[in-house]
Amino acid sequence: MSLNLHAVRAIYMFELHRTWRTLFQSIAAPVISTSLYFIVFGSAIGSQMTTIDGVSYGAFIIPGLTLLSILTESTSNGSFGIYLPRFTGTIYELLSAPVSVAEVLLGYVGAAATKSVILGSIILLTARLFVPYEIVHPVWAALFLVMIALTFSLFGFILGVWADGFEKLQIVPLLIITPLTFLGGTFYSIKMLPEFWQTVTLFNPIVYLVNGFRWAFYGKADVNAMVSFGMTALFMLACVAAITWIFKTGYRLRS
């Protein structure tokens, strides 16, 4: 069966245009808040700290801070995109339309991931105003950026289907993803922790994302880059499988 590109484009462009209608909330606010992190931790505190694995502290936190914004925004964009049609009832028009699961995902998740990649790129450019840095493996950095944005946009899509109220859309990003990101090596190397807590930290999935992205920047990380890549790919496939099941069973979509 051929892909209905017209349907994909319609969903994709509608979701993408919503970003420009809420430009401050979608782009400006995350960039400003991340810039404050760079000023406080990178320039002020970082100048008083020693290097980590030969990388200045200000540069060391760039991948983690970038992911902090990307994970939050990807999840929020992905969840709100599908929750709004459920809330307004227009989801039934989508379900009755001649579009497949793949086409719906390409539209909604593709738009959410695109917004996150744009946001991540702006944050990385903004970081140069505060901290000098170089990217050792730019292709891998781009690949990790896109994969992580796609993965958490898919996760956000699942969250948007599961949530039955606007408050539930914020529970997972605020109470789970953000704390796990802070505890996942955003501001420190897990090698600085006692041995017991190093082991515990490895059960935090965000550790693999942060370290994979950091390796692409500086060629050094606390976790093997291929392990990080594999964990990211595994999570993405799990999200795709969950969404396929959702559309197959109609979970929270037809009720």
Give the pLDDT of residue 114. Answer: 93
Give the pLDDT of residue 44. Answer: 66
Give the pLDDT of residue 201. Answer: 93
Q: Is 95 left (phi over 0), alpha (psi -120 to 50) or beta?
A: alpha
- How many angstroms from the chain centroid is the CA of residue 70? 4
Give the pLDDT of residue 209. Answer: 94
Domain boundaries of the chain, sorted by first residue: 5-249
Give the pLDDT of residue 105. Answer: 82
> Is 85 in contact with 107 (CB distance < 8 Å)?
no
Return the residue matching tokens 């789970």: 176
Q: Considering the entire predicted model, what is its pTM?
A: 0.90
Give the pLDDT of residue 29. Answer: 83
CA dihedral 144, 207, 166, 121 (to 10 degrees): -30
Instruction: List, run by run, the mean pLDDT of 10-residue segments along the chain (255 residues).
Output: 81 83 76 84 69 86 92 90 83 78 86 92 90 92 95 93 84 88 89 91 93 95 93 93 86 72
- CA-to-CA separations, 140 to 11, 179, 216, in angstroms, rounded: 29, 26, 6
Give the pLDDT of residue 168. Answer: 83
**47 burial type by CB count under 10 A (0-12 exposed, 13-18 middle, 19+ buried):** exposed
Give the pLDDT of residue 113. Answer: 94
